[in-house]
Structure 1
Amino acid sequence: SFTVKWHPTDIKYENRLDYVKTEQMFPHELEIHWLSILNSFVLVVLLTGFVVVILLRVLKADYARYTKSRETGDDTEDYGWKLIHGDVFRIPENITLWCAFIGIGTQFVVLFFVCLAMAFGEIITPTLPGGSVYTSVIILYSLTSSIAGFVSAWFFKQIGGGAWAWNIVQAATLFFIPMAIVAMFLNIIASVYGTTQALSLPTLILLFSIYMFIGFPLTVVGGIAGRNLSSEYQAPCRVNHFVRMIPPVPFYRQAPFQYLVAGFLPFSGIYIELHYLFNSVWGHLSYHLYGILFLVFIILLIVTSSITIALTYFQLSVENHHWWWRSFISGGSTAFFVGLYSIFFYVYRSKMSGFLQTVFYFGRMFSVCVTFFFMLGAVGALSSLFFVRRIYAKLD
């Protein structure tokens, strides 16, 4: 048996976790966070150093050979990425989908910064009840929907797409509808089990109405603005009428191996922080190091951008001009490793069991992984697009 003594306090409910924010409460954990930042920073330096120094030196040598071959009239020295200048800007298949993915991913990058800013301002805190968190996320997602519409329509108009209305609809629904289905399924399970995680029918109708009457219209408005403000797409090189055949390459230069490399390196830079985030969301810890989380997110974006650019160059150097979709999938492949870590955490780190906890855990982690895929995929694709335009703009 045991006894309990209640001590009255004047501290407000939302401020009762402030004591854990003092460094004296977690000196060892703070050291681990900073060691993780240092490890990630070293990774950034190495990758950006490779892209900026090594890659530029290779490109400089390539430009010199290209100029020499043009002066002598001998085109036999043309090889690698220079040889496919007539195909590299060929519009890929499913360009409407590609533009919508870019728009959705860009929205999530902005949304993450907005959420961090609100966490800094203690507008979003760990003490919020589940319903308030759902409402906050839906409102923020709806208010930033115009970004998805704008970016998607801007690129679609630039590339010369015609069905712009369908493009905007895709930007508004490709993420929301699947995630709404997942959320409804989880809520039905929670209602059957009678847990406090279940949202009432009026709350569900309210959340759905917020997006339909705020988020969707803002996506349309952003799409119209992006379409009207976009200029005509000017490719640095003229596209050939006939598609160039892609030569065979060894396995380590094929897409699956490239996706593994592109996903593993960014994941290695955020692994430690993911450990604490998972323990905070699914365990008993309280996470409040938003400054460190901001640094880790910036590092994640830089590493994703750098590794995708490097892999895109390697792809072009073997005369493979299908870089549009591969750069997006390469950037978003970090989501695959986040998914693997979520399985590892559930099996070896958490104490969750039973159908309810399992379904809730993997349902929500599926949503997180999809968000990572869109967000980092857009970062990788936009970085590669900028890089490809820059290197081919120097060719005559």
Structure 2
Amino acid sequence: MAFLRSIVFSTVLLCLLHSAFCFYLPGVAPQDFVKGEVLEVKVNKLTSIKTQLPYSYYSLPYPAPKKIQDSAENLGEVLRGDRIENSLYVFKMREPQMCNIVGKVKLDAKNAKEFKEKINDEYRVNMILDNLPLVVPIKRNDQDSTVYQLGFHVGLKGQYSGSKEEKYFIHNHLAFTVKFHRDVQTESARIVGFEVKPFSVKHELDGKWDEQKTRLTTCDPHAKHTVMNNNSPQEVEENKEIIFTYDVDFQESDVKWASRWDAYLLMNDDQIHWFSIVNSLMIVLFLSGMVAMIMLRTLYRDIAKYNELETQEEAQEETGWKLVHGDVFRPPVNSDLLCVYVGTGVQFFGMILVTMIFAILGFLSPSNRGGLMTAMLLVWVFMGLFAGYSSTRLYKMFKGSEWKKIALKTATLFPAIVSVIFFILNALIWGQKSSGAVPFGTMFALIFLWFGISVPLVFVGSYIGFRKPAIENPVKTNKIPRQIPEQAWYMNPAFSVLIGGILPFGAVFIELFFILTSIWLNQFYYIFGFLFLVFIILVVTCAEITIVLCYFQLCSEDYLWWWRSYLTSGSSALYLFLYATFYFFTKLEITKLVSAIFYFGYMLIASYAFFVVTGTIGFYACFWFTRLIYSSVKID
């Protein structure tokens, strides 16, 4: 495993970081529209940061086309709960429309209750036009700038007309604004913005209802009268008739198509984000440099001292880490399980590295909905080859002979644990009739990826790894284990492991805040250049802190370093889960039990994966370190 090469590697990272912000590959090809061309608005899921349970748009009794058609979805979109469908909102390019009637709905008791529940849980409606999500522009009070809220709220609740009773009102009139960038030569245009301002209006009919000829007194295109405020809102109540309408306006924009996502990706606290990341980067690099310098100086002095003693004629008593050279490579307890976890960690490490490279290049930008999750799943599956190879190579070094058993455990242990948690969560979501529940067809696809591709690749990797010559240890192992002396309190395994996880977690917890915000507060995450840099810092920190604690452990004549090296850096996952718990109670407003279980279930999976990755990094760092130091001294 490669370590940071100081100035050279830092320069390369900064170049990658710079390119990550200057180079952008959109998720779809640009589409030109001529004047009068039909634009079809698609509806997506209803989302709420209070429940975290998505629902399809037509789970509420909104006016619907005669035939509802689902758009093609990738695996990542399905797992995210996206349900993209056609709608009755149809525009014509660069032709403004006023007071178009979508349809009329009469609420019964059930429908009224469903609308009230969604309004109470602050659900938002998400729509898409030319792959751009619908946003509500909100002016900042303290600054002359605009932030964008994804989707518009189903409705609002509050008191009206002096009534002390709290009532529910629905947003039934939408004032759309489509921004376009025009090509002067061809007169065609590309869509660069899709905004809306929602209103709640109690529409009044001018005569009787007729789907073709109905006119409204509250919104009449002939009289050039449209909705400007919510003075007479539409209440949600049983037996109430709700008329849905919309306006659409077109605005020419100087923003080019390649930059149309820039406004969507602005984060509310971007200055804090930049400052925190740079601050964390400097602190961790400084600590890592100090650790590396101390280790190099101390080891150089120890090795020189021991080699000097070997040249003397009189026998000298061995002390410190050299004293346990006959036991340091003795196979650990539950060595098979360690091999399995190391192989799984290599699989995860490869997945993260490859996915992050694609993300930096722009292939997994937010415009490519579901692309990130799809890429992670596919790369995970194909990295099974390296998982099998790594676990079996280590297994053969421990004198193991049943490589097929190790291959099977490597291919099934981690996915099986995750699958059990996933199926329990999916059953709960299914019980809530949420679109976030994974359909049976997608379940079958996931099982096929696991058993049809990942498992065979793990076996192929294991076969290749087992055929390789066994890794030779630099020193021989004694037949009789040496007794470990009583350890000081600060060298207690539990204390040492818990201390070791603090620094790696400290390297990522600031970036973790923004990742959790993007996932659970419905925001975009796009700064993959920073994320890659933080990942490199995490790798270096895990490696160095584990090496330091391993060195102190060997100096105290405790040679049981195999599992402790894995757990030392892996314990950072415990702090990650504790931070996720803190985030839940301080940043989220989740009140439903199912939503809380959903949150902690997925954060448990994330923490488990983090444990596997960081533990493997720490293990390989110590593995390299112990082989290096024991091959550098003269031992009889």
SS in 2 for 1:89: coil
- 1:139 maps to which residue? 378
Deviation, 1:135, is 4.9
- 1:62 maps to which residue? 302
Q: Distance in 1 between matches of 2:439 and 2:369?
A: 14
Evaluate the alpha carbon distance shift between residue 8 and residue 388 of structure 1 in structure 2; reply closer, same or farther with a 3 A threshold. Answer: same
- 2:279 maps to which residue? 38
Deviation, 1:268, is 1.0
Q: Does 1:285 align with 2:523?
A: yes
Higher relative contact order (CA 8 A, sep 6+): 1
- 2:606 maps to which residue? 368
Equivalent position amino acid for 2:281 in 1: S
Q: Distance in 2 between matches of 1:209 and 1:5?
A: 45
Evaluate the alpha carbon distance shift between residue 126 and residue 74 of structure 1 in structure 2; reply closer, same or farther with a 3 A threshold. Answer: farther
Contact 2:518 2:524 in 1 (8 A): yes
Q: How does 1:309-324 map to 2 (within 5 A)?
A: 309-324=547-562
Contact 1:335 1:372 in 2 (8 A): yes
Residue 193 (structure 1) aligned to one of 432, 435, 442: 432
Evaluate the alpha carbon distance shift between residue 115 and residue 68 of structure 1 in structure 2; reply closer, same or farther with a 3 A threshold. Answer: closer
Deviation, 1:250, is 1.8
Q: Does 1:202 align with 2:460?
A: no
- 1:104 maps to which residue? 344
Deviation, 1:59, is 1.9
Q: Distance in 2 between matches of 1:261 and 1:20?
A: 42
TM-score (norm 2): 0.58
Deviation, 1:71, is 3.1
Q: Does 1:161 align with 2:400?
A: yes
Deviation, 1:11, is 4.1
Q: Distance in 2 between matches of 1:293 and 1:20?
A: 21
The structure with the larger Rg is 2
Q: Does 1:124 align with 2:294?
A: no
TM-score (norm 1): 0.92
String of CA shifts for 1:215-240, please: whole Å, max 9, x gaps.
Answer: 11111111111222x22221111111
Contact 1:147 1:219 in 2 (8 A): yes
Evaluate the alpha carbon distance shift between residue 281 and residue 17 of structure 1 in structure 2; reply closer, same or farther with a 3 A threshold. Answer: farther
Deviation, 1:129, is 6.1
Q: Does 1:305 align with 2:543?
A: yes
- 2:262 maps to which residue? 19
Q: Does 1:175 align with 2:414?
A: yes
SS in 1 for 2:352: helix
Deviation, 1:112, is 0.6
Contact 1:142 1:211 in 2 (8 A): yes
Q: Does 1:235 align with 2:473?
A: yes
Residue 289 (structure 2) aligned to one of 43, 48, 53: 48
- 2:23 maps to which residue? none
Deviation, 1:345, is 0.5
SS in 2 for 1:241: coil
Q: Does 1:382 align with 2:623?
A: no
Evaluate the alpha carbon distance shift between residue 385 and residue 114 of structure 1 in structure 2; reply closer, same or farther with a 3 A threshold. Answer: same
String of CA shifts for 1:299-343, please: whole Å, max 9, x gaps.
Answer: 001000010000100000000000011000112111011010010
Contact 1:160 1:233 in 2 (8 A): no
Q: Distance in 1 between matches of 2:264 and 2:491?
A: 47
- 2:224 maps to which residue? none
Evaluate the alpha carbon distance shift between residue 56 and residue 122 of structure 1 in structure 2; reply closer, same or farther with a 3 A threshold. Answer: closer
Equivalent position amino acid for 1:50 in 2: V
Contact 2:504 2:572 in 1 (8 A): yes
Q: Distance in 2 between matches of 1:211 and 1:317?
A: 44
Equivalent position amino acid for 2:319 in 1: Y
Q: Distance in 1 between matches of 2:259 and 2:421?
A: 33
- 2:498 maps to which residue? 260
Deviation, 1:34, is 4.2
Evaluate the alpha carbon distance shift between residue 314 and residue 167 of structure 1 in structure 2; reply closer, same or farther with a 3 A threshold. Answer: same
- 2:574 maps to which residue? 336
Deviation, 1:12, is 8.6
- 1:219 maps to which residue? 458
Q: Distance in 2 between matches of 1:190 and 1:208?
A: 19
CA RMSD between the two structures: 2.4
Task: Indicate the structure with greater strand content.
Answer: 2
Evaluate the alpha carbon distance shift between residue 78 and residue 18 of structure 1 in structure 2; reply closer, same or farther with a 3 A threshold. Answer: same
Deviation, 1:43, is 1.9
- 1:5 maps to which residue? 175
Deviation, 1:210, is 1.7
Number of matched pairs: 391
Equivalent position amino acid for 1:85 in 2: H
- 2:330 maps to which residue? 90
Contact 1:159 1:233 in 2 (8 A): no
Deviation, 1:127, is 6.0
Deviation, 1:350, is 1.0
Q: Distance in 2 between matches of 1:84 and 1:113?
A: 36
Q: Distance in 1 between matches of 2:527 and 2:415?
A: 29
Contact 1:69 1:78 in 2 (8 A): no
